């Protein structure tokens, strides 16, 4: 059985990503509504399972709405990553549409509109100012992108 993408991040041995217990405690009272989902995605990378509009089957993506992590992740050169960390606010993406949210799909490297008609959260890693650079390095390494991705074996993803 393939290990999920988020489980691979958590198993990385990186001390800054091993704060999962605190993250679970912090988000346990999350309500199943647009506001709380946008808030959650502002501070977490998660596996999000949802039913796209006009489709019957669920789809799972790895996503975040944290604008700083997105800017750092999209930068391919180290100098651009440093600029993104220094200049991008630690905000989340918010929309006015009451029936959907906007988030960034890390695997496909693009923004996705998520219908709120049916969704659920899977595994997640909480993003902090401290662990953001480490999280970016791990994401880029796992997804084989950037200037110097490591030469590890291909990874199995949750798809």
Confidence band for 71, pLDDT divided at 50, 70 and 90 = very high
pTM for this entry: 0.80
Answer yes or no: are the C-beta atoms of 44 and 125 closer than 8 Å: yes
Q: Output the average pLDDT for the chain.
A: 83
Question: What is residue 5's predicted lDDT score, i.e. its pLDDT?
Answer: 63
Beta strand extents in the chain (DSSP E only): 44-50, 59-64, 100-105, 110-115, 119-126
Domain ranges of the chain: 5-142
Question: What is residue 98's predicted lDDT score, i.e. its pLDDT?
Answer: 95
Answer yes or no: are the C-beta atoms of 123 and 4 closer than 8 Å: yes
pLDDT in tens, 101-155: 999 999 999 999 999 989 999 989 899 888 899 899 988 888 876 554 443 333 3
Question: What is residue 21's predicted lDDT score, i.e. its pLDDT?
Answer: 56
Closest CA to 26 of 132, 128, 105: 128
Half-sphere exposure of 70 (CA within 13 A, CB side): 24
Mean pLDDT of all residues in 83-96:
95
Tell me the H-state helices in the chain. Answer: 5-10, 20-27, 34-43, 67-74, 78-87, 132-142
Q: Which of 20-24, 74-78, 109-113, 135-139 has the lowest mean pLDDT?
A: 20-24
Distance CA 131, CA 69 (A): 10
């Amino acid at each position: 059985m393939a290990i999920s993408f988020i489980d691979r991040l958590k198993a990385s041995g990186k001390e800054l990503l091993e704060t999962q217990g605190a993250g679970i405690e912090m988000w346990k009272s999350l309500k199943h509504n647009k506001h709380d989902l946008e808030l959650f995605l502002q501070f977490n990378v998660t596996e999000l399972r949802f039913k796209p509009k006009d489709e019957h089957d669920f789809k799972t993506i790895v996503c975040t709405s944290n604008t700083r992590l997105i800017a750092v992740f999209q930068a391919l050169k180290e100098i651009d990553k440093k600029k993104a960390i220094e200049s991008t606010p630690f905000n989340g993406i918010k929309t006015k549409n009451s029936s959907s949210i906007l988030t960034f799909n890390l695997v496909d490297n693009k923004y996705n509109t998520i219908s709120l008609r049916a969704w659920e959260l899977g595994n997640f890693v909480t993003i902090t100012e401290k662990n953001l650079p480490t999280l970016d390095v791990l994401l880029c390494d796992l997804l084989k992108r950037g200037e110097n991705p490591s030469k590890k074996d291909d990874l199995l993803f949750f798809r």
